[in-house]
Amino acid sequence: MQEKLKAIRENFIEELKNVQDTNALEQLRIRVLGKKGELTSILRGMGQLSPEERPRMGQIVNETRAKLESAIESAQATLKEKEKALRLQRETIDVTIPPAERSAGSLHPMNIVLNDLIEIFTGMGFETVEGPEIEYDHYNFELLNLPKNHPARDAQDTFYVDENVVLRTHTSPVQARVMTTRKPPIRIISPGRVYRADEVDATHSPVFHQIEGLVIDKNISMGDLKGTLDTFAQRLYGKGIVTRFRPSFFPFTEPSAEVDLTCSACGGKGCRVCKGTGWIEVLGAGMVNPRVLEMCGIDSREYSGFAFGMGIERLTILKYNVPDMRYLYENDLRFLKQFR
């Protein structure tokens, strides 16, 4: 047993000379002094010795353990200092090196345009109101004069959750909710995300963004609508931009109009952007259908109103001359950095 202790001590000292870091030192300690270590196994074998030999052998084992533990403590202190010096050397900072450039973030171009729109309409006395994107058929269609058999309810155009719940196809349900819960006068805009079953291409997406406006009060006329939209157009695209109304049809407005803006790229002279016409179609608008007012509990004999709706993507594309709507969704930093 004494020979085993001697061999353990000599091997330990030899291995200790080759230890390069504290992890290797800990592994050596466990292998020799741990619960299942070489020295511990000798202690467990002392039961085979005679009663006379046990005290002397126990003393030798304890002396050996004390020497080995002392050697470990000494080596550990040396290795820790060595590792600290290496770490400090690796972490040394050269304060003369120019700092790495940090690129500043910016708002997405659609958020820039949306913020501009909210500021413009707020300045005209509009309140911003939002609503749920998963909407009841009642608010998305019925209260907007779109009955059960209307083509806009076609499953090829609308995402249905079930028979009475849809992903809203426009932000007009917000207008319906406001008209059924408030009394005129009402002057709101409702921005938000909307969903339609469209294929993705340069001008379409199944998920896009709209902002709609609604005014309900006494003696509201088409002239009020045109004045509001002219103000919006000039503040967003610059002086000299005016609106042109073309007769159209929407179930929730009567009369209805498709609204064109003077082409901001050429000032109405005709160019590639406006295909030589000098005008660009931007939004739909009209006087709120009296039937919609009545269904929402508003007396159409006393009150009238106008509504309009436009796509934020389209307004962004026109403002920044973006050739493809998909650029707005691809998160390409080469594109987005232009809007800092």
pLDDT in tens, 216-259: 999 999 999 999 999 999 999 988 888 999 999 999 999 999 99
Confidence class for position 88, pLDDT limits 50, 70, 90: confident
pLDDT digit string, tens, across residues 255-283: 999 999 998 778 888 888 788 899 999 99
One domain, residues 116 and 189: yes
Range of the domain at 236: 109-339
Q: Are residues 153 and 51 in the same domain?
A: no
Say if residue 206's pLDDT is above 80.
yes
Q: In this model, does residue 59 exceed pLDDT 90?
A: no
Please tell me the distance from the alpha carbon of residue 220 to that of residue 308, in angstroms, as a whole number.
Answer: 14
**The pLDDT of residue 153:** 67
Could you tell me if residue 298 is inside a domain? Answer: yes
Domain CATH number, residue 274: 3.30.930.10
Separation of alpha carbons 108 and 79, rounded Å: 53
Q: Are residues 141 and 275 in the same domain?
A: yes
Report if residue 268 sits inside a domain: yes
Residues 148 and 182 in one domain: yes
Those residues with Cβ within 8 angstroms of residue 202's Cβ, 6 or more apart along the chain or in another chain: 323, 324, 325, 326
pLDDT at 47: 64
Task: Examine residue 74 and state whether it is found in any structural domain, yes or no.
Answer: yes
Asked if 216 contacts 184 with a C-beta cutoff of 8 angstroms, the reply is yes
Q: Which of 26, 57, 90 is the last residue of a domain?
A: 90
Mean pLDDT, the chain, whole residue set: 88
* pLDDT value at residue 268: 83
Please indicate, yes or no, whether residues 76 and 117 belong to a single structural domain of this protein.
no
Residue 85 has pLDDT above 80, yes or no: yes
pTM beyond 0.95, yes or no:
no
Inside any domain, residue 302: yes
Asked whether residue 127 falls in the same domain as residue 240, the answer is: yes
Which of these three, 90, 118, 134, is where a domain ends? Answer: 90
- 227 and 174 part of one domain: yes
Split into its structural domains, the chain has a count of 2
Section 307-327 average pLDDT: 91
Q: Is the pLDDT of residue 176 over 90?
A: yes
Reported confidence tier of residue 185, pLDDT bands at 50, 70, 90: very high
Residue 100 lies in a domain: no
Question: Residue 254 falls within a domain, yes or no?
Answer: yes
